[in-house]
Structure 1
Amino acid sequence: MKFVHGSLPLLAVVGAVTAQAQERIYQGFNSGAFFQSNKAKVQSDFENEFNAARSLHFSPGTFSSVRLYTNIQQGTTNTPIEAFQAAINTNTSILLGIWCSGTTTISNELAALTSAIDKFGTRFTDLVVAISVGSEDMYRLSESGIANDAGIGAGPNTIVNFIRQVRTAINGTGLAQKPVGHVDSWSAWSNSSNSAVVDAVDFLGMDLYPYYESDQDNRIENAEGIFDDLYNRTLTAAGDKPVWITETGWPFEGPVSGNATATPENAKTYWDTIACKFLGRSNVWWYNLRDTNPAISEKFAVSKDVSAETTFNLTCAAGSGAPATINTDLSKGVKKSSATQLMRSVEIIGLVSVLSVVVLM
């Protein structure tokens, strides 16, 4: 489906940001249940991610939250995902995810969730930010989702039914007061045929990538304007309900998409214009810390090899309003191999300097 985009006032963006000013603001990354090889992530893999997120060099504030897509450990029927224990060990807050596409039941998702509540108690429930029932399910059923071969989705009636089931399942538990929402593309939220889901949720999670808006002039110079326009459309659809940024980013490597090119420089520019504008003001789960999704060829990873080293400089300009820069000691949080390589480089430079002095003498 083609959408005609008009320019909406930035006041809508400012208003949405201000509305969250009195609440705790979360910032983090998304994390799938498995690697590109389809091998399941285990507790140590999640812990490595969560620790790396906290230690990113020149990070604008601390990335101490994670958005998950499922409650179930990959390769099991309904065992709680090992990310839960990893989050407890690293004090990482969680936007829970319940996978809803391609199924008629979420009973195993709910079984895994209630099992985690029973096993971990408040150590787990206190870390939960909210529960997202589904991820881009309505987009997958849309004309554009089908054209992009996005996979099997779920319609609004199914999502509303699943939301009701989740509310029933958490009633009387430590999650009873947590917001229950849904994550989908901006286009799904802007489609009035999905309004029943808007009515059913406590929050709207919005996935938005100007890089993929190939029906527009989506070169990096226009990315901020495209983002603001489509974000404002989502705000309009949401009414008085909060909109959280659950996925956005710009790849540093990948194919041309319309007029958008994937380079480290463009990824940095997008970070400066979008991340630095919303971090500390709105809940943001950036895409992404590491690349593990086998369904996409683009590379979005902010972290190099799940360490404190970054693909581009994360520093936000003074006056941007982003949280203060932290993790400025570049010797911390790097992989051993990288540290060794750095030391060798220093040693080589030192040796060259000594030899130069000898020659001059």
Structure 2
Amino acid sequence: MRASEFLAGAAALLASGVSAEAYLGFNSGNTLADRSAKFKKDWVQEFTTAQNLKNAPGTFNAVRLYTNIQAYSQTSEPIEAFEAAIETDTKILLGVWASGTNTIEPEIKALQNAIKKHGKKLTDLIIGASIGSEDLYRVSVTGIKNKSGVGAGPNELVKFIGDWKKAFQGTALANVPIGHVDTWDVWVNGTNKPVIDAVDWVGVDEYPYYEDGKGNNIENSGYLFDRAFDAVEGAVGGKPVWVTETGWPYIGQTWDKAEATAKNSQFFWQEVGCRKLFGKVPTFWYTLRDSNPDNEMKFAITENLSTTPRFDLTCPATFKTTPKASGSATSTASGTGVSAPSSTESGSAGSGSGSDAEESGSAGSGSSTGSESGTATVPAESGVATGGATSVKGVSAAAVAGMTLLIGVFAML
């Protein structure tokens, strides 16, 4: 066997191991709905509720963060979610804010400070790191049209990924798989291939709710999801695909044919979560607790962190979305797709959570809130919707981050 063939095979085996476990978790930004900072006790409450949800189809013992930096910190103070995760044995998908900055050094420093303090107790919980969240969406034609804020191009992200790997080379995190999170339509755009080549896994934010003009009624949501997910899988050259944001709002405006109700949230949970994702694909649902005040669409599956959700989480024995039917679904996945709010929250341009940064048709997502010192501001949750929609309330975390940079303010939303 030639050396090149051996290395290619080894790389494939390594990549396949990235998704060896189908993690179950939620997205979580670093601020609350009133924009105040989250502290350890707030995350402990979230993680405890997540692990004890009534009738859940598995244990939701993982969290996706949007930053390593504690909200409103003027230095690289580690986010207190780390301590809460250690206390509750919650796995961590790290988030590194990469928009509106020319360096991720504050993010790296915050994590290094946390590791110095907690050591193996922390590093053993880290399952991956996402360098950026919907940055490519924000600089896309759709993102610019939706005024989604400052983003980052593929060359910038590849540089940041290299900076991250260099910083943790030879450490306990050296082999932690690196990814990037963005809206599904971004991944089928060939100009972003350098990012695909640079990562171990691809994170997709996908919100059929925001797929206006594509038959986005709730009955069609499973087909819309499948088409976009399959398009991503077909574009990333065998890299594992993680679903980093998805969900359906229980309250909010009617988005084309999509209605926001708790009944529809349950349908989406069953037809996308139960049928397609849970136990099969690393999944971070949007969301356990609402925290983006700028997004009128609310996605939380619980109220006040009750372990009894708004709807029954039990997975049904049969589903209404069938593989054969998906071939004739009303909509098709296109490069202009939609995304959900981001975060911290994300539609095909973004994500459904306010795109935490969440976001539209492909929209963005919304909830990453965390302040950092240095040259960038980590947004709290932003309110952009994905699925090719326009930004919710016209405000995204990225946009706010860009504005704060311009005026020299480094506090979060």
Normalised by the length of structure 1, the TM-score is 0.82
Q: Which residue of 2 aligns with 1:234?
A: 232
Contact 1:20–1:281 under 8 Å retained in 2: no
Aligned residue identity for 1:35: L
Question: Which of 262, 265, 273 does residue 264 from structure 1 map onto?
Answer: 262
Aligned residue identity for 2:284: W
The 5 Å alignment of 1:2-151 reads: 23-76=20-73, 77-151=75-149
Contact 2:18–2:201 under 8 Å retained in 1: no
Contact 1:95–1:130 under 8 Å retained in 2: yes
1:281 equivalenced with 2:280 (yes/no): yes
Aligned equivalents of 1:22, 1:51: Cα separation in 2 = 24
Deviation at 1:294, TM superposition (A): 2.9
Contact 1:117–1:174 under 8 Å retained in 2: no
Q: How big is each residue's C-alpha offset from its partner over 1:269-325, in whole Å with a ceiling of 9 and x where there is no partner? A: 1011011021011100000001002332111001111120211110001367xxxxx
The 5 Å alignment of 1:276-355 reads: 276-277=274-275, 278-318=277-317
1:209 equivalenced with 2:207 (yes/no): yes
Aligned equivalents of 1:166, 1:21: Cα separation in 2 = 18
Deviation at 1:98, TM superposition (A): 0.2
Aligned equivalents of 1:279, 1:213: Cα separation in 2 = 22
Contact 1:20–1:282 under 8 Å retained in 2: no
Q: Which residue of 2 aligns with 1:185?
A: 183
Aligned equivalents of 1:311, 1:146: Cα separation in 2 = 35
**CA 1:269–1:70: 2 relative to 1, 3 Å:** same
Contact 1:302–1:310 under 8 Å retained in 2: yes
Alignment partner of 1:60: what SS?
Answer: coil
Contact 1:205–1:246 under 8 Å retained in 2: yes
Q: Which residue of 1 aligns with 2:388?
A: none
Unaligned runs of 5+ in 1: 1-18, 321-361
Contact 2:19–2:240 under 8 Å retained in 1: no
Aligned equivalents of 2:255, 2:152: Cα separation in 1 = 26
Q: Which residue of 2 aligns with 1:343?
A: none
Alignment partner of 2:294: what SS?
Answer: coil
Alignment partner of 1:59: what SS?
Answer: coil
Aligned equivalents of 1:300, 1:288: Cα separation in 2 = 6
Contact 1:21–1:281 under 8 Å retained in 2: no
RMSD over aligned Cα atoms: 1.4
Contact 2:186–2:192 under 8 Å retained in 1: yes
Contact 2:203–2:244 under 8 Å retained in 1: yes
Aligned residue identity for 2:270: D
Q: How big is each residue's C-alpha offset from its partner over 1:162-183, in whole Å with a ceiling of 9 and x where there is no partner? A: 0000001111111111001100
Aligned equivalents of 2:290, 2:151: Cα separation in 1 = 23
Alignment partner of 1:176: what SS?
Answer: coil
Normalised by the length of structure 2, the TM-score is 0.71
Deviation at 1:22, TM superposition (A): 8.1
Alignment partner of 2:72: what SS?
Answer: coil
**CA 1:298–1:173: 2 relative to 1, 3 Å:** same
Aligned equivalents of 2:105, 2:19: Cα separation in 1 = 36
| Larger gyration radius, structure 1 or structure 2 | 1
- How many positions carry a matched residue from both structures? 302
Aligned equivalents of 2:252, 2:54: Cα separation in 1 = 24
Contact 2:253–2:297 under 8 Å retained in 1: yes
Deviation at 1:21, TM superposition (A): 11
Contact 2:18–2:177 under 8 Å retained in 1: no
Unaligned runs of 5+ in 2: 1-15, 320-413
Aligned equivalents of 2:117, 2:18: Cα separation in 1 = 34
Q: How big is each residue's C-alpha offset from its partner over 1:124-149, in whole Å with a ceiling of 9 and x where there is no partner? A: 00000100000000001112112223
Aligned equivalents of 1:148, 1:257: Cα separation in 2 = 15
Question: Which of 181, 196, 199 does residue 197 from structure 2 map onto?
Answer: 199
Structure (1 or 2) with the greater helix fraction: 1
Q: How big is each residue's C-alpha offset from its partner over 1:148-168, in whole Å with a ceiling of 9 and x where there is no partner? A: 232211111111000000001
> Percent same amino acid at aligned positions?
48
Aligned residue identity for 1:281: K
